[in-house]
Amino acid sequence: MAIEDLTTEQRNPATMHIDTMSTLDMVKTINHEDEKIAQAVGKQSTQIAKAIDMAAANYHKGGRLIYIGAGTSGRLGVLDAVELVPTYGIKPQRAVGLIAGGERAMYLAVEGAEDSQELAQKDLKKLNLNANDIVIGLAASGRTPYVIGGLKYAGQVGSVTISVACVENSEIGKYAQVPIEAVVGPEVVTGSTRMKAGTAQKMILNMISTGVMIKQGKVYENVMIDVQPTNEKLVDRSERIIVSCTHVDKDKAHEILKKAHMNVSLAIVMAKTGYDVDKAQEILKENHGNVSQVLN
């Protein structure tokens, strides 16, 4: 499909005169367009759930979440990867964001980088991509060569492949096991896909990565339990998590956390079961560190 025919490149009838609107009307108009995003993402629920299940299975086997994209899409992938590390206590190498043009492209446009399929293959080879990995290709237009090249190579390697686009029948979707296509319609400012399309991609990535982490046991009830208590603030947060999940008092939470070697998951199991640290470690290991499995 030609670029000018893509949904993301069409002019939005509702914003044809946004340049002459009052500031309040401008804000209301943008907000009204934004209301359509969640509905578009919601229509992809089945595909998103499928992506989570496939990605979670590979991640459990030691695979990595690898995001590839260019421009805004690439930056969103990098953002999702980076934020998983402090949020869920994972190692940085388990979530990797690749942007066409490399690290410099996070801040400045690198002309021509997104037009190379070979560059994506080269970037993935540097990571020693393998069949346990998960590659998430992001392109609002659904046609970025860098992303196509990456998904093609990932498919050859046998990795799980997921695509996220904002047009129907996307080109990148042809190279993904799970194509996700949230059609948000024309942008408020024609072609400015950092707006509705970018928001849709962020929402979808939130769902996928959060879902994968939940299935790894990184969440108990609705609390992050792999927080790393590396400073005073995080120690206090860890103790409050233990209190809220086990209903012991703050002093007891402090005591158990110390006995658990500052491991929140372990402390919760100890508080809920009455096991000592060795027994709690043993049962957690048997359940692959999944607190919900141990306690439910």
pLDDT digits 0-9 by tens, 163-208: 999 999 999 999 999 999 999 999 999 999 999 999 999 999 999 9
Statement: the pTM of the whole predicted model exceeds 0.85: yes
Q: Are 157 and 287 in a shared domain?
A: no
State the greatest distance between any 2 C-alpha atoms of the chain, in Å, as a whole number. 69
Provide the mean pLDDT of the chain: 95
Q: What CATH number is associated with residue 253? A: 1.10.8.1080
Give pLDDT, residue 86: 85
**For residue 126, pLDDT beyond 90:** yes
Q: Are residues 248 and 129 in the same domain?
A: no
Q: Helix 277-286 to helix 264-273 angle, to the nearest 10 degrees?
A: 110
What tens digit of pLDDT does each residue of 132-163 get? 999 999 999 999 999 999 999 999 999 999 99
Share of the chain above pLDDT 90, in %: 88
User: Residues 100, 178: one domain?
Assistant: yes
Same-domain pairing of 162 and 252: no
Q: Which residues pair with 165 in a beta bridge?
A: 181
CB 106 within 8 A of CB 75: yes
For 23, the domain range is: 7-215
What's the number of domains the chain is made of? 2
Domain boundary among 215, 238, 257: 215
Q: How far apart are CA 42 and CA 161, in angstroms?
A: 21
Q: How many CB atoms lie under 10 A from the CB of residue 93?
A: 9
User: What is the rounded CA–CA span in Å between residue 69 and residue 137?
Assistant: 6
The model's pLDDT over 267-277, given as tens digits with 9 standing for 90+, comes to 999 999 999 99
1 assigned to some structural domain: no
Same domain, 172 and 188: yes
Which amino acids are annotated catalytic? 83, 114
pLDDT surpassing 90 at residue 288: no
Residues 191, 160: contact at Cβ < 8 Å? no
Both 192 and 60 in a single domain?
yes
Q: Which of 215, 249, 272 is the last residue of a domain?
A: 215
- From 161, 191, 215, the end of a domain falls on 215
Decide if 2 is inside a domain: no
Question: What is the domain-level CATH number for residue 128?
Answer: 3.40.50.10490
pLDDT value of position 1: 62
